[in-house]
């Protein structure tokens, strides 16, 4: 099998999804240079965490973390584009495993009980074929051995893309579009809600709405990237 894989790599060489350089056979999806040099989200904690400021006063969260910081026309954007538009769902799962390592390093946080990915509307899911946030969550849940719930939070209204919308327009676009079933399953639990990208936080805030009156709920937020400057 190793010989076959080596032969295939000669015919179909694999490239880093961030910088497009050729990958060595021990590398997966991202080259070692990019793994070490991409702008990591944990650097936001060194001074003033602007990601925390996105949700302060809007959602009572225990923690909010991202794997990378988005930079327009740069490597993180290429990674997100590959996941969202080029069918690279396994890349999202791989990043979930990297994010799990970051979460494991956090201290003084209540253990997570359930991981919930931000859902897609059924029409968009049919077109894309997969939910990138679900694959990201799958990587996190597998690594941390935590329950993954992909059926309780539902998006019951199809919305337009958020990419070119301003802050208030983003909120209007997602207001009252999420529904939560099996509410009792979340009582007195620590829920980690995961999305692929956080910008203004409008989608996360809308998704939190059906959770907010659950007794004893602890809520945390995570994403592949934080793109507040979009």
Domains of the chain, by residue range, sit at 1-37, 39-226
C-alpha closest to that of 65 among 27, 29, 112: 112
User: Considering the entire predicted model, what is its pTM?
Assistant: 0.86
Distances (CA, A) of 111 to 43, 62, 142: 22, 11, 15
Mean pLDDT, to the nearest integer, of 22-28?
92
Q: What is the pLDDT of residues 40-90, one digit of tens each?
A: 997 665 555 688 889 999 999 999 999 999 988 899 999 999 999 999 999
DSSP state of 167: H
pLDDT of residue 3: 46
Contact between 143 and 100 (Cβ < 8 Å): yes
Does the pLDDT of residue 161 top 70, yes or no? no
CATH code assigned to 39-226: 3.40.50.2020
Query: From the centroid of its chain, how far is CA 185?
Result: 22
Supply 140's token pair: 């996190």
Supply 35's token pair: 């793994």
Contact between 220 and 61 (Cβ < 8 Å): yes
């Amino acid at each position: 099998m190793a010989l076959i894989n080596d032969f295939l790599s000669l015919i179909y060489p694999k490239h880093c999804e961030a910088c497009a350089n050729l990958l060595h056979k021990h590398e997966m999806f991202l080259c070692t240079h990019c793994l070490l040099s991409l702008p990591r989200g944990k650097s936001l904690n060194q001074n003033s965490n602007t990601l925390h400021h996105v949700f302060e006063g809007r959602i009572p969260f225990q923690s909010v973390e991202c794997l990378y910081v988005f930079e327009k026309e740069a490597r993180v954007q290429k990674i997100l584009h590959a996941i969202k538009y080029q069918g690279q769902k396994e890349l999202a799962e791989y990043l979930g495993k990297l994010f799990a390592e970051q979460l494991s390093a956090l201290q003084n946080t209540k253990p997570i009980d359930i991981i919930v990915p931000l859902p897609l509307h059924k029409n968009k899911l049919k077109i894309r074929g997969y939910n990138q946030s679900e694959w990201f969550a799958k990587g996190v849940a597998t690594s941390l051995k935590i329950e993954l719930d992909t059926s309780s939070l539902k998006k019951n209204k199809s919305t337009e893309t958020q990419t070119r919308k301003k802050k208030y327009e983003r909120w209007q676009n997602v207001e009252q579009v999420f529904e939560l079933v099996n509410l009792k399953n979340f009582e007195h639990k620590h829920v980690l809600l995961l999305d692929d990208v956080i910008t203004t936080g409008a989608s996360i805030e809308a998704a939190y709405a059906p959770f907010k009156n659950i007794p004893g709920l602890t809520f945390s937020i995570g994403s592949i990237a934080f793109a507040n400057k979009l």
